[in-house]
Amino acid sequence: MQEGVRLRAGASKGDIREKVWDYLEASGLAEFPRPVHHRIPNFKGAPHAATRLLGLEEFKAANTVKINPDAPQKNARFLTLEARKTLLVPTPRLRSGLFNKIVPPPGAAKETLRICATSQGIKEYSVPVGLDGKARVDLVVVGSVAVSEKGWRIGKGEGYADMEYAMMVSMGAVTEDTPVITIVHDCQVVDIAEELLGDHDLTVDYILTPTRTIKTNCKRPKPRGILWHKVSYEMLGKIPILKSLRYKEKQAGKDVTLQDEQPALANASKSAALNEKAMAGKTRPQASMGSAQTGQQYVESDSLSPRLEGSGMITTVYVGNIPPNLRVSELKCALREFHAAPLRVNWQGAQHRAFLDYKDKATAESAVSSLKGLSLGGNTLRVELAKNQRNKGQVEINSQK
């Protein structure tokens, strides 16, 4: 531990972050972008620290490496590309999926690879990897604000690295044996009290600094998946891929109750869903038959919505990229899960699309937001407001292909 970072007894995570950020700035160790506060801090010697990857057997053996997009890991990204390994970089704040795969031009020279490793290069030379991309990650490199020699890590406080790892577990992309490495300055290696760690906090197996390679031999278990009881509706809204993972895990029978879901509300929703299913079985035999035929076109209306016709308020949402084997019943189940049940479903499975009618534009826009990033049957659905809107709940069905 560097003498310059002095921590008081009982320091919180926030205290530790501030001390490290302050020290990096005051000592002249901070590098662009600055100030380093509220970031994964870049530091003098970061490129050299990253070269220690080359000495690790775990790096040599890895085919696919996931590295965070922050500045201090830029050289680690370059070295991964130079070694002709597959490089996965998380999307910023997980807004549009989980990973981007960096794909350099064929025969790219070293200078081109250096560009691919930059933030601009990540934008220009990447392709998204979807939830069903069957990615397997052999090595994980994360940024840190502070880390202890025991492998206990503190990030910048937003929880994205912890969530990225938990999502990778949920996807089957990593196992408990997948090595996790962090690259930091020596002054960022500090004492961290174990009681500061939660069961969602990611630990590390190796710490690379400009002067040392530290094997932590950490025995504390890494997160074993997404802890849904710590996920809020707000987080679900900010990270669209979480919705798809939640739906997938619920279908597998896992408890996906959110942080702000009260047991009473959960029971009420379950009862309502059961009642709705029972009513559907009694009153809509034709719809059930249509559900079993994936390519059949039919329109199903909600008889409890008298304003559906003739109101002029109806707004239609287009759902595209529907997989050929998906049933309308599966789509409707997903719509209920994401609190986006429409007044009416116009199912056009043979054209791999559907149109959903909502009572007004605000409700339709809310549904689009809720369904963004939803993956069903291996396809990420395309969800947007239908281009041609008509009054009385009608939509030009050929308006979107």
Question: Residue 139 sits in a domain of what CATH number?
Answer: 3.40.50.10420
Cβ atoms of residues 63 and 74 within 8 Å: no
Let me know whether 89 and 178 are in one domain: yes
Let me know whether 211 and 232 are in one domain: no
pLDDT per residue of the chain (401 residues) written in tens, 0 to 9: 445 688 888 889 999 999 999 999 999 999 999 999 999 999 999 999 999 999 999 999 999 999 999 999 999 999 999 999 999 998 876 666 678 899 999 999 999 999 999 989 988 998 888 666 577 999 999 999 999 999 999 999 888 888 889 989 988 899 989 999 999 999 999 999 999 998 889 999 999 999 999 999 999 999 989 999 888 888 887 787 888 888 888 888 889 888 877 554 445 444 444 554 444 444 343 333 333 345 555 555 443 343 444 445 899 999 999 988 888 888 988 888 788 889 999 999 889 999 999 999 889 888 888 887 787 877 888 899 998 776 544 444 444 65
Let me know whether 322 and 197 are in one domain: no
**300-314 exposure pattern, b = at least 16 Cβ within 10 A, e = fewer:** bbeeebeebeeeeeb
Largest CA distance in the chain: 75
Structure tokens at 179: 């090595």
- Which of 54, 25, 65, 50 shows the shortest CA–CA distance to 209? 50
Let me know whether 232 and 202 are in one domain: no
Close Cβ partners of 239 (under 8 Å, ≥ 6 residues apart):
93, 94, 95, 163
Q: Does residue 288 lie in a domain region?
A: no
CA-CA distance, 146 to 168, in Å (whole number)?
Answer: 23
CA-to-CA separations, 175 to 97, 222, 245, 287, in angstroms, rounded: 20, 9, 17, 42
The residue type at 219: K
Let me know whether 24 and 166 are in one domain: yes
Let me know whether 206 and 78 are in one domain: yes
Close Cβ partners of 44 (under 8 Å, ≥ 6 residues apart):
28, 29, 30, 31, 185, 210
The residue type at 201: D
CB atoms within 10 A of CB 292: 10
Tell me the pTM: 0.69
Environment class of residue 290 by beta-carbon count within 10 Å: exposed (0-12), middle (13-18) or buried (19+)?
buried
The residue type at 55: G
CA-CA distance, 72 to 183, in Å (whole number)?
Answer: 7
For every residue of 224-286, DSSP letters joined together read: -S--GGG--HHHHHH-HHHHHHHHHHHHTT-----TT--HHHHHHHHHHHHHHHHHHHHH-HH
For residue 290, the model assigns a pLDDT of 37
Let me know whether 232 and 211 are in one domain: no
For residue 252, the model assigns a pLDDT of 86
CA-CA distance, 182 to 161, in Å (whole number)?
Answer: 11
Structure tokens at 369: 């937001």
On the CB side of 219, CA atoms within 13 Å amount to 0
For residue 273, the model assigns a pLDDT of 46
- Which of 275, 366, 287, 393 shows the shortest CA–CA distance to 332? 287
Let me know whether 170 and 126 are in one domain: yes
For residue 311, the model assigns a pLDDT of 47
Angle at 87 between CA 83 and CA 92, to 5 degrees: 145
Q: Does residue 392 lie in a domain region?
A: no
CA-CA distance, 393 to 356, in Å (whole number)?
Answer: 9
The parent domain of residue 151 ranges over 13-215
Let me know whether 340 and 247 are in one domain: no
Let me know whether 232 and 210 are in one domain: no
- Which of 213, 176, 179 shows the shortest CA–CA distance to 67? 179
CA-CA distance, 32 to 47, in Å (whole number)?
Answer: 13
Pairing status of strand 64-67 against strand 86-90: parallel
Domains contained in the chain, number: 3
For residue 117, the model assigns a pLDDT of 96
Q: Does residue 244 lie in a domain region?
A: yes
Q: Does residue 109 lie in a domain region?
A: yes
Q: Does residue 309 lie in a domain region?
A: no
